[in-house]
Structure 1
Amino acid sequence: MDQTQASTSPYRSLDDLCGGDPQMQELITRGKRLIDKGIPILILGETGTGKEYLSRALHAYSERRAANWVAVNCASIPESLAESELFGYCKGAFSGALPGGMKGKVQQAHRGTLFLDEIGDMPFSLQTRLLRVLSEREVVPLGAAQPVSIDIHLICATHQDLKILVAQGSFREDLYYRIAGGVLRLPALRTRADKQALIMQMIADEMAPLQVSERIIAPAALQQLLAYPWPGNLRQMHAVIRYCCAVMSGSRIETGDLPEELMQFHVPDGHRSGNVVQIQPRQSVSPIKDERSRVIDALNGSRWNISAASRQLGMCRASLYRKLRQLDIPHLRDQAMPAYAA
């Protein structure tokens, strides 16, 4: 990852990332409070937990959303090129330089957000330069005589324990305290077992063609998906569901539609089931009338705004539309009506 994005990112909003998960809701609430306070944010989490997604969503929520979101993967840039990539250079700064010079990633993020992914892999020598840039709020491109003022919001991310790197002497302690103004720790997917079905549903809904109203997962395939430990976290789950949706026939995902790695995974006896199950959040069964009242209350409270109501109910838009059909609740788009009563 090494790219520049404007605020029109197709990625999910902060509220969409919650997925009805109280643990994520707390994290998102803290992120909203931090984003426009001028405090650098450090996102921690295992590989694939969605650190880039969260960074994009924070930028899109912030007052800087109209400016660039610029991402740099600190682990993928060769050390010999890292300085010029980050800080830029002037005309004639070195042999092979572009005739007109180049703005570095820091300058490209001026008035926007700079996202430094895998900050723990940044070379030590470059850490010193970055610290000065953050302290002085200015950057000196290679070959430049004068510094250039910059205004950025910094978001960093890493799967490593920076405190251990500091103790080992491979990461500057002063830089750590500079970038860790507000820490957001993303949970691993295996700790969100009760939300995995909902997350799968959200991913499948994104993949669904317009003519497919719902997707169904067969019992054996469901067992495999829910029993699998997901070492690659959300990134791996997204790739698996995308693959299943691409190869499935009709609207039913069978075991044969799963990637080979999941088909060969041994399912513990506790995960075995004999029923066809829709990919939807596992939740306690409540009387239909109570559930109907809960849905209608959410719709009335949001003035029948489906997006707002779905967030309140902890489900995606497609799931709420299905719920309306299941509970025989007409939607305003289909039938003009006053505020609906239970």
Structure 2
Amino acid sequence: MIKVSADQSILEAVRLLLQSTGRDIYYFDEETSLEHKVNREHLIALVASGFPAALSLKSMEAITPNLLSSTIDSSQTSLGFVMRWFISVFESLHDGVLIIDHNEIVRYINKSFERISGAVFSETVGRVLTEARPGAKLGSAVRTGKPLLGVRRKFGEIEYMTDMHPIIINGECIGGVTIARDITEIQQLQTKLSKYQVRYNDLLRQINKENTATYRFADICGNSPALHAVKRLAEKLANSNLPVLLRGESGTGKELFAHAVHLASARHEQAFVTVNCAAIPGPLLESELFGYSAGAFSGAKQSGKSGLITLAHNGTLFLDEIGDMDIELQAKMLRVLQTGEVQPLGSVNKMKVNVRVVAATNRNLEDMIRIGKFREDLFYRLNVSQVYIPPLRERVQDISVMAEHFLGQCIHPSFGKLELDAETLRTLERYPWPGNVRELENTIRFIANITDRTVITPDYLPQVFFQHRTLVQKEQTIKPDEAVSLKTMKHAAEKEMIVAALTSFGRSVQGKREAAKQLGISLTTLYARMSVLNIK
């Protein structure tokens, strides 16, 4: 408790009140020999109302008995109560408040204004604004009747923004009010946000750099009408946001088309994320695609992991071999396509993503739907824009163009640039190419590395080409009564080629892998064809 003399001025009493936060102040009335508790809100309200602050507590009490005392009338209709109510509101505000009258004398500042601006109540209230706070602009708002907004100030380490408004009643300006908002924390957050934004942009550039499409439509070479038609269709679809389903045999160049669709789209500057659904086991593929939260499963990173779908945000997600995706995971991918939301494993939160999906498969999805291996709803969602890439045997005109293109990429250490003679090109054009473009590329690389002359002749081609030529010659000598179906002939030729490759490389797992590579097909496709053709 602090005692003050009744002869002390109102302003001195206010100063003591502000300096003794949390402590009560009493003044002693000698005439009545009674102590009166000074009410903070009453006193500040009195000063804010324009009451002469130089008067002593005793003289003021003589004018308005009990006005300072806590026993003051608490009727909610009284002027004193209303004043105290407003002062209590101002004192509770986080923003600073300064009020002047029409003579530009400061009548009130709240505690927040003291904290933000460094002003002191006892040194500010009752004084002309420009004397108490040189450079203050609130007086201009009072004189012109026009507000001043967004004036920035700084006190020590505190930055604050002020809005100044005239107080107008019945068309007459009776004063002005300044509202001061501490923006230091906002500025600090903006600085941190700027740093995080720079870091985010760096990471985004790194992601996009590591997940970048390489091939454009101009890189897909060939002169056949079939290829030109496919490229025109794919180029048109590239300009949309529709999913694209690339279909065709293994090795026809579906991945090149996926790259080209991305680079021809409006998303070309964003990430191009490739996922081979056949190469990753089902449970692992789910965590790779969707990511996971911390502790989602045994062995999960404590920090969690972002999924590939999230990394492809605003870009393209290429799902290669989608026919090999587990049917349970297909349901989740359908959900992503329908809602644009991703829910990481072990998380209850969903994230919005903007991803364009391009899928590819060499499977017969219609047959897979019939046997319950592929979801019909996902098929129709993807099959909105289907692009079928014909096998190389159906576009023979492209073989010589592609062969020359691949050969141009092979520089022999002794001969430099290589050429194919006419007979070699004819042999390549007669071959059925079960492995399609991939097999053609591998064949050209093979002969370019073993040749000992600049012009490559047919004798440098792999053994399988000679076996195929012999088979063709046999077929040409078949008599009408010995004729067989085209399908039978195709299977016979394919079987002989596979057997020849297995004979060359062996039937071990590694040998089959090499044989598949030579044929330009995947190991999975090789096993499938061996089963169909009854090759033991």
- Give TM-score, length-normalised by structure 2: 0.47
* Distance in 1 (alpha carbons) for counterparts of 2:422 and 2:233: 38
Residue of structure 1 in register with 2:424 after alignment: 221
Residue of structure 1 in register with 2:331 after alignment: 128
Q: Does 1:158 align with 2:353?
A: no
**197, 202, 215: which one aligns with 2:405:** 202
SS in structure 2 opposite 1:265?
helix
Q: Which has the larger radius of gyration?
A: 2
Residue of structure 2 in register with 1:285 after alignment: none
Q: Does 1:97 align with 2:300?
A: yes
| Number of equivalenced pairs | 266
Shift of 1:123: 0.8
Shift of 1:212: 6.6
Task: Decide whether the 8 Å contact of 1:49 with 1:187 is kept in 2.
Answer: yes
SS in structure 1 opposite 2:306?
coil
**219, 237, 241: which one aligns with 2:440:** 237
* Bigger RCO (CA 8 Å, 6+ sep): 1
**48, 71, 89: which one aligns with 2:274:** 71
* Distance in 1 (alpha carbons) for counterparts of 2:209 and 2:395: 31
TM-aligned CA distance change 1:147 to 1:77, over 3 Å: same
* Distance in 2 (alpha carbons) for counterparts of 1:199 and 1:4: 29
Residue of structure 2 in register with 1:187 after alignment: 390
* Distance in 2 (alpha carbons) for counterparts of 1:40 and 1:134: 9
- Give TM-score, length-normalised by structure 1: 0.72
Residue of structure 1 in register with 2:499 after alignment: none
* Distance in 2 (alpha carbons) for counterparts of 1:122 and 1:269: 42
* Counterpart code for 2:240: K
Residue of structure 2 in register with 1:145 after alignment: 348
* Distance in 1 (alpha carbons) for counterparts of 2:335 and 2:328: 12
Task: Decide whether the 8 Å contact of 2:250 with 2:436 is kept in 1.
Answer: yes
- 1:104-157 CA distance string (max 9 Å, x none): 111111111111111111111111111111111010001222111111110011
Task: Decide whether the 8 Å contact of 2:227 with 2:395 is kept in 1.
Answer: no
**117, 135, 140: which one aligns with 2:320:** 117
* Counterpart code for 2:430: A
**21, 35, 54: which one aligns with 2:224:** 21
Task: Decide whether the 8 Å contact of 1:166 with 1:173 is kept in 2.
Answer: yes
* Distance in 2 (alpha carbons) for counterparts of 1:30 and 1:221: 33
- 1:27-69 CA distance string (max 9 Å, x none): 1111111113111000000011111111112112222121211
Shift of 1:249: 2.4
* Distance in 2 (alpha carbons) for counterparts of 1:226 and 1:31: 26
TM-aligned CA distance change 1:70 to 1:243, over 3 Å: same
Task: Decide whether the 8 Å contact of 1:6 with 1:66 is kept in 2.
Answer: no
Matches within 5 A, 1:281-296: none
SS in structure 1 opposite 2:387?
strand
SS in structure 2 opposite 1:207?
coil
* Distance in 1 (alpha carbons) for counterparts of 2:403 and 2:221: 13
Shift of 1:223: 4.2
* Distance in 2 (alpha carbons) for counterparts of 1:256 and 1:108: 49
Residue of structure 2 in register with 1:339 after alignment: none
